[in-house]
Structure 1
Amino acid sequence: MTFDFPDELLHTQKELCRVRSERSRLLAALPSFAEASAQSGAAHWAPGDPPLGRSREQAEQEHQLRGQETELAAAIQAHPFWATLSGPALVDARSALKYAACQAE
């Protein structure tokens, strides 16, 4: 089954794929909390400080990307296109949108 997705919905899904990929790359490059704790000898940090093993800039970038990811996912979920479908067609369309927009990622 093929779907004729509205351009803005397809664009939003592509942007969501891009942001998720960027956030994944950022997180993969950072040490885990356990690694950072072992290296620093600390098990916690003060409120407002970036998590151990991360610079303030990295923490802010991750926070920004997480916010973008949430906003884009909400925009996709609320798009009026989904009201034109129901049942299995709706499930198929959601999968087809992700495939169409994210296959190059």
Structure 2
Amino acid sequence: MAEFDFPDDLRDAQLRLHRARAEYQALCRTLPWSVEPAEGWTAVEGQYSGYRRDFPATPGYTDEQKTEVARLRALMLELSTEVTTHPYWATVSGGDVVDARMELKHHPDVVRTDEPTPGG
């Protein structure tokens, strides 16, 4: 695999994207199964094979949770756009773009952390 010389601002944007995604995933693990309040239910035997079958009643997301989900989704969209539309990509030959993108995602300066950035 070729080595690419990524500009600092592109590496920084990719790192912020990894952190935002980790924060979003951590938040999602704490949320109720439904955004809106819903009664619980149990799947019929054989239905949804291999998936969760019991869903307890849920109060749905709080307004604060909805706001935080929306903030993190907007941040991930913004950072994804910043990374994918960065002028650097125009300097990479067509056949190397996929390799360069994969290298950026796994670059030592931007490796994903499961530690969310405090305060986003």
* Aligned residue identity for 2:32: P
Q: Assess if the C-alpha contact under 8 Å between 2:14 and 2:79 holds in 1.
A: yes
Match of 2:46 in 1: none
> 1:102 aligns to what?
111
Q: What are the residue-to-residue correspondences of 1:25-104 with 2, within 5 Å? A: 25-33=26-34, 37=38, 38=40, 39-40=57-58, 52-100=59-107, 101-104=110-113
1:59 is paired with a residue of what secondary structure? helix
What is the CA-CA distance between 1:66 and the residue it aligns to? Answer: 0.3
Counterpart Cα distance in 2 of 1:25 and 1:77? 24
Secondary structure in structure 2 of the residue aligned to 1:102: coil
Aligned to 1:4: 5
> Which has the larger helix fraction?
1
Structure 1 90/13 Cα, relative in aligned 2: closer, same or farther at 3 Å?
A: same
In structure 2, list runs of 5 or more residues that go unmatched.
41-56, 115-120
Provide TM-score, normalisation by structure 2: 0.71
Residue deviations 1:30-50 (CA, integer Å, cap 9, x gap): 12129x52215xxxxxxxxxx
Point out the structure with max Rg over C-alpha: 2
- Name 1:13's counterpart in structure 2: 14
The sequence identity of aligned pairs, in percent, is: 37
Aligned residues: 94
* Greater than 2 Å deviation, 4+ residue runs: 102-105
Q: Once the 2 structures are TM-superposed, how far is the Cα of residue 86 of structure 1 from its aligned partner?
A: 2.5
**Runs (5+) with no aligned partner, structure 1:** 41-51
TM-score (structure 1 length as normaliser): 0.80
Checking the alignment, whether the CA contact within 8 Å between 2:19 and 2:112 is kept in structure 1 is no
